[in-house]
Amino acid sequence: MEQHDNILFLDKENEESAAQRVSRLLLDGGVCVIPTDTIYGIVAIDDCLEAVHRIYAVKGRPENKPLIRLIGRFDEFGLYSQEPFPEKIRKYWPGPLTVIVKGTHETKVSIRYPSSSWLDRLFRALEYRVIVAPSANLSDRENILEHEALIEMFHRNADLIVCKKGRLEKKKASTILDISQSPWRIVRQGALRLEDKDLI
């Protein structure tokens, strides 16, 4: 494989240094590809509009389709919605559950609070700034799980690609639950298996 300067292979020993490097790039308005606790995401600071526009362009995603936000602690949920977070699904956070809620400034907002020691380090380095983190693929295409394919797809467009050698262990994206309406609706079954009875 061709060598690139913007590739970093992640392991337990370099999580902290990787988090510091990614945080510096993001805080400087950059775009990075990183592993989450489910699949790879292409990320930027949420309020860095130029970087967010770059993500839309790289993915070929229409800009009228909002991007998922990742938060590093539960308190940040209140930045995006004034709706109370339901206790019956609180047990799934942090974890692979994306929740669609009535937003403060938008009609609907997709938010997830992931569970990952690596992401914990990244959020601390970012001082808990919220990041947008859609899947690292082209819009409406299959998720990319192999590091070779990930690098081939994004090395020209991302400031840094953080990846794990080989294939990601977790092969499913997050489960999506829409609680912005009644009754709640399971939009996508993913890494967390939800049943209707779990929501009653």
pLDDT digits (tens, 9 = 90+) for 73-114: 999 999 999 989 999 999 999 999 999 999 887 689 999 999
- Name the CATH code of domain 7-199 (choices 3.50.30.10, 3.90.870.10, 3.40.50.300, 1.20.1300.10): 3.90.870.10
pLDDT digits (tens, 9 = 90+) for 174-185: 999 999 988 999
Rounded average pLDDT over 6-22 = 95
Length of the chain counted residue by residue:
200
Between 170 and 197, name the one with better pLDDT. Answer: 197
pLDDT digits (tens, 9 = 90+) for 118-132: 999 999 999 999 999
Does the pLDDT of residue 2 top 80, yes or no? no
Q: Tell me which H or E stretch contains 176.
A: strand 175-178
The span from the CA of 153 to the CA of 38, in Å, is 19
**DSSP string for 59-91:** HT--TTSPPPEE-SSGGGGGGT--SPPPHHHHT
Start-to-end CA span in the chain (Å):
51
The span from the CA of 34 to the CA of 13, in Å, is 16
pLDDT band of 3, cuts 50, 70, 90: low
Please check whether residue 163 is in contact with residue 33, taking contact to mean a CB–CB distance below 8 angstroms.
Answer: yes
pLDDT digits (tens, 9 = 90+) for 53-74: 999 999 999 988 999 999 999 9
Which whole-number Å values give the CA distances from 88 to 80, 93, 165, 199, in the listed order? Answer: 20, 11, 37, 7
